[in-house]
Amino acid sequence: MTQPESSAEEPLPMDVMEVFGYRGIGALAERMGIQFLELSPERAVARMPVEGNTQPLGLVHGGAYVVLAESLGSTAANLHAGPTKIAVGIEINASHSRPATEGWVTGVCTAISLGRTLVTHEIAISDEQGRRLSTVRMTNFIKDRPEGQVFEPK
């Protein structure tokens, strides 16, 4: 799992570490350099380097914003779902409003609705100057974990 570089960051809560231990953050999120900074069902924060996540013109690829957002929204939804259920994405939309060409982008995921079967989050992605780059809304469906499906620690 990719951890924040700064030792000044608070460690992630143990229940989050358990989720990561069983499910991991995913190969794509790791490959993109996503670093989780804060995680709860209500609010999650992560950052991603611009370098390595650009399209041919040198701008962050719109799909990279969506990967950052979906990584945040899915993890927050799974924390809300708890250990006997899983959250799966059923809808996501994104509006990109400004490019980034260097540094880091940060996603802040905020719960809009934490229901029994549907969870919706808004993810605001900004640059290091605090300018909004992309706004993403994601809805996850919470369902029972398939029978026999067991997540083993890595």
Residue partners of 40: CB distance under 8 A and separation at least 6: 13, 16, 76, 79
Tokens of 9: 């960051």
Phi-psi region of 58 (alpha: psi -120 to 50; beta: other; left: phi over 0): left
Separation of alpha carbons 12 and 111, rounded Å: 18
Is residue 30 flagged as an active site residue? Answer: no
Using the Cα atoms of residue 57, residue 94, residue 1 and residue 48 in order, give the sign of their dihedral.
positive
91, 85 contact by CB (below 8 A): no
Q: Which of 9, 51, 70, 152 is catalytic?
A: 70
Q: Which residues are catalytic?
A: 70
